[in-house]
Structure 1
Amino acid sequence: MPTTSATVAHSSSNGVRPTEAEAPIMLELVDEDGVTIGTAEKLAAHQAPGQLHRAFSVFLFDETGRLLLQRRALGKYHSPGVWSNTCCGHPYPGEAPFAAAARRTFEELGVSPSLLAEAGTVRYNHPDPASGLVEQEFNHLFVGLVQTGPRPDPEEVGETAFVTAAELAERHAAAPFSAWFMTVLDAARPAIRELTGPSGGW
């Protein structure tokens, strides 16, 4: 069963981020139905074999139906330097996934999503061969629009790009992407098609 060290400070029940002095970031552990069952420190939750925890993934599109991608900063401890969807992360314990998705998108990219909508959930188990870490996640998916240019935090994001569906296929074949990218993209496709229309190619 998951355990949490008594020496680790927890986020408050309203999901407020802990201060630096309160130390490691805690994630919300869940069962196979997405019901909260405890908490674990972020790195510990990703160490093999991984502990199932709550996460979110965001897909934002511009007015022409292009998807905003980010390349993760080289300083990231997990999957550095690879391309991935607009934003992904973990709610703090007690924080609603929708609120976490909007918050983290602004923190990483300096943009506030428009028409952000839920796009279902997906559960997966993706080991990262490079780091040995494991993504055991119950992931809440969101799609929306971006109406301003990104202003990324360089500690989080190394590069951004807007791509069509065809351009994404070419980039995905030529450059490294996060292990979870295609899983979350495929799960979000119905909502993406509803947002971008049948001509978008998604």
Structure 2
Amino acid sequence: MRTTPATPADTRSAPPAGRSAGDAGAAPEDAAEPIMLELVDEDGRTTGTAEKLSAHLPPGRLHRAFSVFLFDSAGRLLIQQRALGKYHSPGVWSNTCCGHPYPGEAPFAAAARRTSEELGISPSLMSAAGTVRYNHPDPASGLVEQEFNHLFVGLVDEEPRPDPAEVGRTAFVTPAELERLHGERTFSAWFSTVLDTARPAARELTGPAAGW
């Protein structure tokens, strides 16, 4: 049975606190090699690389990212609450999956890989939904999201099996349920920006009855 709309009683239990380096396809924190991101210019052209944390320190360095929006057969959006142990935006709700491609990795490939790693699912009919460039400081951590973000929408027909180091809870929500939850819970600084940009592709994928 699918996860039902998010409420304190029907979402997955959050895991115990503990730092995770799983953001954006990261390797374990004690890995010998630093986690590198792909820096880009305002047109999304690669300009170099930077270590992950340094790219997020104020004022931030513009880098490539991706955001995924997956919907079930009823047109409900799968959202996640980020694990409490993540160093960036822990415990906040956000879209299905977010992250950063490895340098040289295609954003589509990174999005499919990371969705599997975080949620244990394989999207179908996943397609590009545009790009958006934004600058969003995170008040809680003091980090800055300077991102050139590649957006993707797709379908999912299996129950999420989230990695507890990455994801605390999941829920499938309608637009009305999302609006209510958005007023009750804290969402990621980038969530509204990426959702608004992805809405046209979401409507095309799910149909007008879904209400996106």
- With structure 2 as the length reference, what TM-score do the two structures score? 0.86
Following superposition, the deviation at residue 48 of structure 1 comes to 0.3
Aligned residue in 1 for 2:13: none
Equivalent position to 1:189, from 195, 199, 202: 199
Deviations 1:18-69 (A, max 9, x none): 7964421100000000000000000000000000000000000000000000
One-letter amino acid of the counterpart of residue 36, structure 2: M
Q: Within 1, Cα distance between the matches of 2:27 and 2:105? A: 12
1:95 aligns with 2:105: yes
Specify the code of the residue in structure 2 equivalent to 1:78.
H
Q: How does 1:1-202 map to 2 (within 5 A)?
A: 21-202=31-212
Q: Could you tell me the TM-score, scaled by structure 1's length? A: 0.90
CA-atom RMSD in angstroms: 1.4
In structure 2, what is the Cα distance between the partners aligned to 1:130 and 1:118? 31
Provide the identity percentage: 79
SS at match of 1:195: helix
State the AA in 2 paired with 1:56: F
CA-to-aligned-CA distance 1:112-170 (integer Å, 9 cap, x gap): 01000000000000000010000000000000000100000000000000000000000
Task: Write the distance in 1 (CA, Å) between the matches of 2:83 and 2:32.
Answer: 25
Structure 2: runs of 5+ lacking an equivalent: 1-24
| Aligned-partner Cα distance in 2 for 1:42–1:153 | 21
User: Aligned partners of 2:72, 2:34: CA distance in 1, in Å?
Assistant: 35
Tell me the SS of whatever aligns to 2:145.
strand
SS in 1 for 2:47: strand
1:171 and 1:18, CA in 2 relative to 1: closer, same or farther beyond 3 A? closer
- Kindly indicate whether structure 1 or structure 2 has the higher relative contact order, using CA contacts under 8 Å at least 6 residues apart: 2
Which amino acid letter does the alignment assign opposite residue 121 of structure 2? Answer: V
1:77-111: CA deviations, max 9, x gaps? 00000000000000000000000000000000000
Q: Give distance in 2, aligned partners of 1:25 and 1:43.
A: 8
SS of equivalent residue, structure 2 residue 109: helix
CA apart distance, 1:74: 0.3
C-alpha distance in 2, partners of 1:140/1:195? 17
CA distance in 1, matches of 2:32, 2:86: 21
**1:128 & 1:48 partners in 2: Cα distance?**
10
Aligned pair count reads 187
Distance 2:115 2:87 in 1: 19
Distance 1:21 1:87 in 2: 23
Which residue of 2 is the match for residue 5 of structure 1?
Answer: none
Distance 1:58 1:36 in 2: 21
